[in-house]
Structure 1
Amino acid sequence: MASPTLLPAATDHARRFRPAVPPPLREPLGLFAFLKAVRANPVATWTEDHFTAPLVAAEGAMGRITLVSDPELIRQVLVENAANYRKDDLQRRVLAPGLGNGLLTAEGEEWRLQRRTLAPIFSARTVQGFAEAMNGAGARLARRLARRDGGSADVALEMTRATLDVLERTIFTTGLPSDPDALGRAITRFLEAVGPIDPLDVFGVPAFVPRLGRLKARPAARFFEEVVDELIERRRALMKADRAPRDLLTLLLAAQDPETGQGLTDLEVKANIVTFIAAGHETTANALTWALYCLSQDGAAAERLRAEVDAAGSQDGFAVEDLPFAKAVIEEAMRLFPPVPFLSRQALGEDRLGRIKVPRGSVVMVAPYVLHRHRTLWEDPEAFVPERFLGSARAAIPRYAYLPFGAGPRVCIGQSFSLQEAVLLLAHIARAVAFALPEGHPPVLPVQRVTLRPSDGLRLSIRRR
């Protein structure tokens, strides 16, 4: 296993900010304590062994699970032998009822067809072409925050608004058929409802047995469906009249598999639009929220960021290549608080990972939340140190030790879109305002609700620059 990646020589460990997180457990929880804890907050169930051992295999409530934190063995699971591992039933039971059978949940040939069809939509050239729209959303966000000079804002809510603005400017350029704030609230309600892991899902109880979370999520899921149906109907009419804008929605509706010429079915189109709205915007909003929280507690990092954006910006906005430190801040925020805290796969056939045999049907897990804080891979892993992602320090990070967007065939198709969006929005924010955590504010703790978010939102004081 790789040795810890060293921090730049100038890094002052003692003065770096270490965000509060649930402490690792000394021993695994018993069955009933585990079921209660995993429903409340799954990231609070990891033990000390998980953060120090390259492999941990154990029998528990969900059967045999092997957690892999060795980068070379992660490569084996997610890349070299990916065909032997499919998404496990628990993930599909939690996500599919709301997100449908899009890229996030589809399997087999259905997934391969969707991936081939959608890949050109997220090409580097296409994503770079959205920089102007993202800069426009960033400028709007900066003006909104600056008007709150001397006050405060729920940063989590503001980042949700901003990322929905980006979606409207890049995917739905003729406008959303609903108030974006209402859509944002529906996304939050949906993830809050389906996020807690239901014991019925842990034990594999058939899907026809009602789950409380899914019952609570139904109104939000119906709202998504109505919004998406109207979006598709409007856009198809514009395409028929040859008046449709060339945004991501038009590209999605017109997309064809390069191998077969086959387009996506209506259900596949709807599932992927819902995925882009619910999952795509949520991960970026959370990355920005955690980045701003860490910057509010690290004056030196915040000052370095402000100096960079003051030197790099123009009237037209920013370019990502001029913002290496802003990008490093986002990457470090996603290291500490990865958008997807764990990836789980089910073995289709027997395998061997190092010294451990993986039985057919058992679950193999890669947990970015654990991996990114693993004490054998990272020096001072609990500290917020953006410099890890600059220059030679960035080059020294093992490829499969840092997985904010997954890896292998199922790596997030929108990762370049999300990273570009987050960096540009952060630059506009840093040029306009500075944030501080109000005195006496309780610790900000991460809670896993599909994604990682602050447990009670994040209200920061605002000072206009």
Structure 2
Amino acid sequence: MDVRRKPFVPPAPVPRTVPPGRLEIIRTVMRNPLELWGEPSYNEPWILTKFLNERALIVNHPGLVRHVLVDNVANYRMGRIRQLVLRPILRDGLLTAEGDTWRRSRKAVAPVFTPRHARGFADQMLSGSQRFLSRYQAAGPQGSEFDIGRDMSELTFFILSDTLFSGDVAATDDEFAADIEKLLSTMGRIDPFDLVKAPRWLPRLRRLRGRHVLAKFRGMVRRTMTGRLEVLKNDPGAAPEDFLTLLLRQMGPDGLSAEEVEDNLVTFIGAGHETTARALAWTLYCLSQSPDDLAEVEKEIDKVVAEEKDPVEWLARMPWTRAAFEEAMRLYPPAPSINREAIADDTYVDKQGARVTIPAGTTVMVMPWTLHRHRRLWDEPNAFIPARFLPANRDAIDRFQYLPFGAGPRVCIGATFALQEAVIALAVLLGHFRFESLPTTRPWPVQKLTTQPGGGLRMRVVPRR
């Protein structure tokens, strides 16, 4: 007899049943864009609509996702509102650059993120995660309360600094987590001027409050660059062969400018850790509410860690742990919206003959938030069910209905790095501690570049043994 409990349904906005008015759209997008979407977005394959008097296409059909992001990718540039939000922070970093600038940057950083190279970081990911345990061990046998959202941000920053920058990032962990939180809460939010596509020179009041933390962040990056450049100049053999050195060696007339190197460092230090951090926090929360799945994950971790000391093998040997992480990314996608704009008129016809015409200038919104919860694509779409990502069940998931790392030429270059990092971190954390929700733990998903738990994510952390 199956005695498993009903699956946990984590918090999420209830789909709207009445379309919002113009003023309500602006208020909602400023507060939390995830609360904007209505019933059709979770039921229909695509929706042609008007968004603040401009044509918009909301895409929730895997075939149309592929058409926009892969098959006819040349016809779609980055969405203007997205660029208005991100470019002031990242400038010409890999997430926001376009054309030749993007191609130069992608080519420059690609060698670091090959699967073979990513596997080489496994030992550092393991040692970094093990060192991070000290903050929980200091609480003693009864455990204590922690903000897991902030903790995971610090952990992933620590791992990223150790692996890609050999520990040379000029910042402290505590400063970094607070600065990132403030940066995303100010400059990482949509402004009303963005919605009406006002010129970039018009000041965005929310972002004015974040300028000093952005200046502090870029100053940290410049100090990191300067320190490594001095080593490369005075004693090249002493410079570690890491991501920082690789980028700095790409500087020159035929490579990257100093500004482009800085922008890519800002992108990877500021945003590169953020997606994994948020997904780890959501995973720990969902598992705390799903004891049957937690038991499977703990059993698997205990067995594999006892038998296999090489963390390189853990990603392949921990399918339950990976599945829990991937299910958390389905429910709380790190990038909940992927925005493009049609350059020329386009048409898509699905296998059943349904047709959609996409006029030039249309804003195309590929929506992982709604795609991952779409009722035509998923069984029990709002429930936390890691088993759907176990190897035996993966073939039922279309490549283009699950987009935690995007798709096409602009797919996240660090996907393999992030998955390996997450499984290793979860194996260490859950091998030693249990993360328990409190009566006051009621996280609400809020879109600030990534899908974050609004108000933090306080949990009690207690030793397992």
Corresponding position: 1:250 with 2:245: yes
Corresponding position: 1:455 with 2:450: no
Distance in 1 between residues matched to 2:463 and 2:323, nearest whole Å: 24
- The answer on whether the counterparts of 2:441 and 2:458 sit within 8 Å (CA) in structure 1 is no
Residue aligning to 1:41: 32
- The answer on whether the counterparts of 1:39 and 1:197 sit within 8 Å (CA) in structure 2 is yes
Distance in 1 between residues matched to 2:148 and 2:3, nearest whole Å: 28
Distance in 2 between residues matched to 1:200 and 1:26, nearest whole Å: 27
Q: Secondary structure at the match of 2:336?
A: coil
Residue aligning to 1:406: 406
Query: What is the correspondence of 1:217-296 to structure 2 with a 5 Å cutoff?
Result: 217-240=210-233, 241-242=235-236, 243-255=238-250, 262-296=254-288
Q: Secondary structure at the match of 2:49?
A: strand
Query: What is the correspondence of 1:109-124 to structure 2 with a 5 Å cutoff?
Result: 109-124=100-115
Aligned partner of 1:313 among 297, 305, 330:
305
- Number of matched residues? 452
Residue aligning to 1:172: 165
Aligned partner of 1:136 among 127, 136, 141:
127
Distance in 2 between residues matched to 1:194 and 1:141, nearest whole Å: 29
Residue aligning to 1:330: 325
Residue aligning to 2:181: 188
Q: Secondary structure at the match of 1:399?
A: coil
- The answer on whether the counterparts of 1:156 and 1:457 sit within 8 Å (CA) in structure 2 is yes
In structure 1, runs of 5+ residues without a counterpart are 1-8
- The answer on whether the counterparts of 1:333 and 1:384 sit within 8 Å (CA) in structure 2 is yes
Alpha-carbon displacement from aligned partner over 1:289-344 (angstroms, at most 9, x marks no partner): 00000011011111111111111115956332221111111100000000000001
Q: Which amino acid aligns with 1:112?
A: R
Distance in 1 between residues matched to 2:59 and 2:457, nearest whole Å: 32
Q: Which amino acid aligns with 1:389?
A: F
Q: CA deviation at 1:173?
A: 1.2
- The answer on whether the counterparts of 2:62 and 2:400 sit within 8 Å (CA) in structure 1 is yes
- The answer on whether the counterparts of 1:117 and 1:256 sit within 8 Å (CA) in structure 2 is no
- The answer on whether the counterparts of 2:326 and 2:386 sit within 8 Å (CA) in structure 1 is yes
Alpha-carbon displacement from aligned partner over 1:258-287 (angstroms, at most 9, x marks no partner): xxx932111111011111111111111000
Q: Secondary structure at the match of 1:377?
A: coil
Distance in 2 between residues matched to 1:177 and 1:74, nearest whole Å: 40
Residue aligning to 2:358: 358
The 1:174/1:142 distance shift into structure 2, 3 A limit, reads closer
Q: Which amino acid aligns with 2:150?
A: L
Q: CA deviation at 1:196?
A: 2.8
| Greater CA drift, 183-192 or 246-255 | 246-255
- The answer on whether the counterparts of 2:46 and 2:58 sit within 8 Å (CA) in structure 1 is yes
Alpha-carbon displacement from aligned partner over 1:325-375 (angstroms, at most 9, x marks no partner): 111111000000000000010001000133221111111110101000000
Aligned partner of 1:103 among 75, 94, 117:
94
Distance in 2 between residues matched to 1:175 and 1:121, nearest whole Å: 17
Alpha-carbon displacement from aligned partner over 1:79-132 (angstroms, at most 9, x marks no partner): 000000010111111011111211100111211121122211211111110001
The 1:35/1:159 distance shift into structure 2, 3 A limit, reads same
Residue aligning to 1:6: none
Corresponding position: 1:209 with 2:208: no
Q: Secondary structure at the match of 1:280?
A: coil
Corresponding position: 1:61 with 2:52: yes
In structure 2, runs of 5+ residues without a counterpart are 350-354
Distance in 1 between residues matched to 2:255 and 2:112, nearest whole Å: 13
- The answer on whether the counterparts of 2:326 and 2:389 sit within 8 Å (CA) in structure 1 is yes
- The answer on whether the counterparts of 2:251 and 2:257 sit within 8 Å (CA) in structure 1 is no
Residue aligning to 2:289: 297
Distance in 2 between residues matched to 1:450 and 1:62, nearest whole Å: 24
- The answer on whether the counterparts of 2:109 and 2:243 sit within 8 Å (CA) in structure 1 is no
Distance in 2 between residues matched to 1:83 and 1:189, nearest whole Å: 35
Corresponding position: 1:339 with 2:338: no
Q: Secondary structure at the match of 2:423?
A: helix
- The answer on whether the counterparts of 1:146 and 1:433 sit within 8 Å (CA) in structure 2 is no
The 1:99/1:238 distance shift into structure 2, 3 A limit, reads same
Residue aligning to 2:352: none
Distance in 1 between residues matched to 2:254 and 2:404, nearest whole Å: 31
Aligned partner of 1:155 among 148, 161, 166:
148
Distance in 1 between residues matched to 2:368 and 2:53, nearest whole Å: 19
Q: CA deviation at 1:255?
A: 3.9
Q: CA deviation at 1:146?
A: 3.0
Q: CA deviation at 1:236?
A: 1.1
Alpha-carbon displacement from aligned partner over 1:43-99 (angstroms, at most 9, x marks no partner): 000000000000111012161110111101110000000000010111111011111
Distance in 2 between residues matched to 1:255 and 1:196, nearest whole Å: 32
Corresponding position: 1:127 with 2:118: yes
- The answer on whether the counterparts of 2:251 and 2:258 sit within 8 Å (CA) in structure 1 is no
Q: CA deviation at 1:161?
A: 1.1
Q: CA deviation at 1:174?
A: 4.3
Distance in 2 between residues matched to 1:112 and 1:329, nearest whole Å: 34
- The answer on whether the counterparts of 1:135 and 1:317 sit within 8 Å (CA) in structure 2 is no
Residue aligning to 2:431: 431
- The answer on whether the counterparts of 1:377 and 1:401 sit within 8 Å (CA) in structure 2 is yes
The 1:256/1:408 distance shift into structure 2, 3 A limit, reads farther
Distance in 2 between residues matched to 1:311 and 1:189, nearest whole Å: 40
Residue aligning to 1:3: none
| CA root-mean-square deviation | 1.8
TM-score normalised to the size of structure 2?
A: 0.94
TM-score normalised to the size of structure 1?
A: 0.94
Q: Which amino acid aligns with 2:432?
A: A
Q: CA deviation at 1:29?
A: 0.5
Q: Secondary structure at the match of 1:326?
A: helix
- The answer on whether the counterparts of 2:148 and 2:281 sit within 8 Å (CA) in structure 1 is yes
Q: Which amino acid aligns with 2:436?
A: A
- The answer on whether the counterparts of 2:153 and 2:277 sit within 8 Å (CA) in structure 1 is yes
Q: CA deviation at 1:28?
A: 1.6
Q: CA deviation at 1:426?
A: 0.8
